[in-house]
Amino acid sequence: MSGPGSKAPGKSPVNGPANQALWQRADAVIPNGGMYFTRSARFAGNDVMPGFIQSAKGCRITDVDNKTYLDFNCGNGPNLLGYRHPEVEAAAAEQAGKMDLATFFPEQMPAYAERLLQWGSEFDWSVFTKNGSDSTNLAMRIMRAKRQQPYIVLFDAAYHGFGVELALADESRFDSNQAYVIRIPWNDTQALQAVAEKYGEQLAGLVINPLDQSPARPVSEISKAMASAIARFKSKTGAYIAVDDVRHGFRLHPKGSHQQMGVEPDLICLGKALANGYSTSVVLGKQELRSAAEQINFTATYMFSSVAFCAGIATLDIYERDNVFPHLWAMGTKLVEGITQAAAATGHQDLVMSGPPTMPTLLFSQDVKAKRARTFAANASRLGAIFHPLLNWFVCYAHQEADIDEAISIAAQALQDTPTSL
């Protein structure tokens, strides 16, 4: 889910004078004006997205030109409760008044680990990291340390973060970076069996995302046959299973996406929505892998943010106390149904909405280069809503019925303004 985006020379990707002024400054001093495809406004084309945000509250973001948008990107996932949820902010602010990072561990660290293991009661220990990428890299290291074997199985086009081993095939520059990574097609039970036969005891583990979700492709769930094949793969080879729940965590199942997938992981990687926007991530693991985790020399300066730990505890408490998940599901379902009806009414018969309603993905089946999806997103942005044209959207707890009604009417107009062939 990274990539260069489309850069038309001399054109600014952002909309509005203050956004454009910041873009010029950013482009002079930061490669690609900010480098990051998912953050960069370029994902929808030139001159359409806001680009620079000055404030955010609930499900709305306000850009530097003072235009407010109804947001279905939620900071690329983290803001599951909505921006600046008062209780999370209060917990974080109280701790920020005392300290964030200091020499030695913050006093909240054991409480946060205990809280996470109460949430994921099938796991026995937790190791904190900072980004989702840190946690997937750590999971791979732990599986290798335990097995003393090198090979890791991943799925084609599955994004797991920024590590060199994890770069997707078209980004890989040096074969040696990925010498011990084997990629197989999604839901291909025979390919998994073939890997088990070929590499056998040299396998350390397998890392799997809850869904197959690549830019501009319909989302696909794991098949029952694949879930069973993974269980057989584990018992045949002894390799471990890690679920990368960084993106989908708390949005596919309130107790971890593996519950929905029918896969029993030895490790689970969580990030994004863990602390409603505060930067922390984690690997939770089973007892059998604890000794391997203890062998690894793993640390990072900003891993022990007590502000993020306090935000994380408050976030988990709210998820459970307020039964957040059914609301996300209901709002997402209403959004998907409304947009599907609007597409039929505006002649976009090839609209495909795929994935769970908590994180739906829009595409048009006849739109192979995603030109119409980009045009739709650009039109919606002009009308005041952010819908990603290539990747999944994120629904949050702050989206209420009235917000979804507004989103549907913006989407209907944006569809009306989008040609049915491009």
Among 63, 221, 244, 403, binds ligand PLP (CB under 6 A): 244
Among 15, 20, 133, 237, binds ligand PLP (CB under 6 A): 133
Does residue 271 touch ligand PLP according to CB under 6 A?
A: yes
Does residue 136 touch ligand PLP according to CB under 6 A?
A: yes
Provide, rounded to whole angstroms, the least separation between the CB of residue 222 and ligand PLP.
Answer: 14
Using the minimum distance from each CB to ligand PLP, give the nearer residue, 136 or 315. Answer: 136
Does residue 85 touch ligand PLP according to CB under 6 A?
A: no
Helix/strand/coil for 287: helix
- Where on the phi/psi map is residue 79: left (φ > 0), alpha (ψ -120 to 50), or beta? beta
Does residue 209 touch ligand PLP according to CB under 6 A?
A: yes
For the record, the structure tokens of 245 come out as 């729940």
Using the minimum distance from each CB to ligand PLP, give the nearer residue, 1 or 113. Answer: 1
Helices and strands: H and E segment counts in the chain: 12, 15
- Pairing between β-strand 240-244 and β-strand 203-208 as defined by DSSP bridges: parallel
At what angle are helices 306-321 and 109-119 packed, to 10 degrees? 30
Does residue 164 touch ligand PLP according to CB under 6 A?
A: no
Does residue 394 touch ligand PLP according to CB under 6 A?
A: no
Give the HSE-up count for residue 98: Cα atoms under 13 Å, Cβ half-sphere.
12
- Pairing between β-strand 68-71 and β-strand 385-386 as defined by DSSP bridges: parallel
Contact letters (x/-) for ligand PLP, 37-76, by CB under 6 A? ----------------------------------------
- Our measurement of the distance from residue 321's CA atom to the centroid of its chain's CA atoms, rounded to an integer in Å, reads 24
- Torsions phi, psi for 398 (to 5 deg): -80, -15
Using the minimum distance from each CB to ligand PLP, give the nearer residue, 141 or 247. Answer: 247
Does residue 160 touch ligand PLP according to CB under 6 A?
A: yes
Using the minimum distance from each CB to ligand PLP, give the nearer residue, 237 or 392. Answer: 392
Using the minimum distance from each CB to ligand PLP, give the nearer residue, 207 or 292. Answer: 207
Angle at 405 between CA 401 and CA 410, to 5 degrees: 145
Report the distance separating Cα 158 and Cα 100, nearest Å.
34
Q: Where does this chain bind ligand PLP (CB under 6 A)?
A: 1, 131-133, 136, 159-162, 209, 244, 246-247, 271
